[in-house]
Structure 1
């Protein structure tokens, strides 16, 4: 089994792929250059927060934030944000990007304007960090993301995509309620482990940034646990969980945005109580390495076959 990492960079606000034969050393398939330019696929001419999953149909699903935080500086718009920050908040946006592929090379592409889909979302301030997971009860890909109305508190919601992954079909509903009012909760990541669903997320509270909540239901009932799960002493976000193939070991990866320069951090667990710090990419003593790229942000990892890896590498050779 091989592994595929999807990520973006602040420098280009575009989509990148890297592959690994062992889940430890990753090589960018395009020599550190984006595989898809954010300027070509996003309403705001930039993407962030790519997430990839594989559905029961064998297809790959990528969901991304449609947002460029440096668009004014790069001459892509006249204002800092699409709408005034005093009303709509920092980094405001209204769109997600959905892509679907059966070979990791040819992709469908749709810009999904949340505010135009449902009257209930007219006042949406943000649509950030979308992820997908298959819901066997609904037989659909569930899409969950961070949002707020106007410039209010960030929280996580879920909806469902149509079979072709072109839009959302359900009014978004709350995914998880934090016990303290006014605390931003963002960047949810759900993985089914055994008969339970593990939600990792960011809480802008103390102590710690990354938390875990567990439920027997995919779209609700997540029990709050105050225990921090990452070892970092600086800011972290974008937790994502993946399993080392053929083992009971899971890797929790997170964006250490507080590091200078930013980097990805990693911890391993087998019981979801104890997390062993693996360090960051290319840190002394860390088993996690990159060979031809630096500065990855807000990514996700899935298992792929060696044949799928070879096809990607051959295509971008």
Structure 2
């Protein structure tokens, strides 16, 4: 009898453990902007990474407060090892800094900061689409974005889209930052990069912004280090349409790269298991109407449930 009771207790523990694992399953979130972005942060969710539904009745969760133009374009959210959600965004078409705020629950945010990442560059014209990544080895964050500085890269300075390159700073605390440096320069106009860990290396999805002859497509680069050693870009992974604002998820052993088909006023997606062979699945993804450039990321079921409860 005692052995039977012990067996039943063990079985109950195993069942409870299995339930706990189920409760911590992933839910995918997508932060984005609409229109001019003056109303701020919007968010959608998905259980399968294909069909996305707006949260908060597709109303803003956070309104922009920093920068001259007070915009909140191209939001990027990353959960750090400190348990906080860190967000950066574009504050203006022409300012030399970016916006930053953090949150424990994606509803209540810290005081917004203006980070003057390119203020030291007299000729800098912008700071577009900043994104975040975390370097676990160095225990620091990297913030990267696109800037054009007339005359800095003469070979592409007069090609219609000037000479955008990807720049970056590092920080451990979002208080002090390194001086901006070039992150990606392969001799062409590049914007809208996003970086994801991939085994023992990193993968960068980027937009070839070349205007003459027109490219306006997405490509892939890889590196063993976050801030250096990036490869030349791959062949385009998107089609004849113009694409921008890539963001990626690793789902069921496959990459899904979402992007803004900005000329067609809709979102698209491509998928791959090896970063070389890509299939267009734009007809399989559903997004809220009017969604613009944003970032996809995963949270636990518990984090999602808390978010939903706070929005009620």
Please give the range of the TM-score, normalised by the shorter of the 2 chains. Answer: 0.7 to 0.9
Alignment coverage as a number of residue pairs: 272
Decide whether the 8 Å contact of 2:150 with 2:163 is kept in 1: no
Deviations 1:49-89 (A, max 9, x none): 1111111222211110001xxxxxxxxxxxxxxxxxxxxxx
| Aligned equivalents of 2:197, 2:165: Cα separation in 1 | 21
Partner of 2:130: 130
1:277 has 2:280 as partner: yes
Deviations 1:4-39 (A, max 9, x none): 10000124432101111222222211111111123x
Unaligned runs of 5+ in 1: 68-90, 280-285
Kindly state the Cα deviation for residue 204 of structure 1 after the two structures are TM-superposed: 2.1
Unaligned runs of 5+ in 2: 1-25, 152-161
Partner of 1:230: 238
Decide whether the 8 Å contact of 2:245 with 2:293 is kept in 1: yes
Counterparts in 2 of 1:105-254, with a 5 A limit?
105-108=107-110, 109-116=112-119, 119=120, 121-150=121-150, 152-163=162-173, 165-166=174-175, 168-179=176-187, 183-205=188-210, 206-207=214-215, 209-231=217-239, 233-244=240-251, 247-254=252-259
Q: Which has the larger radius of gyration?
A: 2
Deviations 1:146-189 (A, max 9, x none): 112258511101111241x24x511111111123xxx3210111
Name the one with the larger helix percent: 2
Q: Secondary structure of the equivalent of 1:197? A: strand
| Aligned equivalents of 2:105, 2:72: Cα separation in 1 | 21
TM-score norm. by structure 2 comes to 0.82
Q: Secondary structure of the equivalent of 1:63? A: strand
Partner of 2:22: none
| Aligned equivalents of 1:12, 1:226: Cα separation in 2 | 32
Q: What is the CA RMSD across the aligned residues, in angstroms?
A: 1.8
Q: State which of 81, 87, 95 in structure 2 corresponds to 1:62.
A: 87
Kindly state the Cα deviation for residue 210 of structure 1 after the two structures are TM-superposed: 0.9
| Aligned equivalents of 2:309, 2:249: Cα separation in 1 | 25
Q: Secondary structure of the equivalent of 1:126? A: coil
Partner of 1:314: 309
Kindly state the Cα deviation for residue 145 of structure 1 after the two structures are TM-superposed: 0.6
Decide whether the 8 Å contact of 2:221 with 2:234 is kept in 1: no
Kindly state the Cα deviation for residue 196 of structure 1 after the two structures are TM-superposed: 1.7
| Aligned equivalents of 2:137, 2:303: Cα separation in 1 | 29
Residues 184, 225 of structure 1: alpha-carbon distance in 2 compared, 3 angstrom cutoff: closer
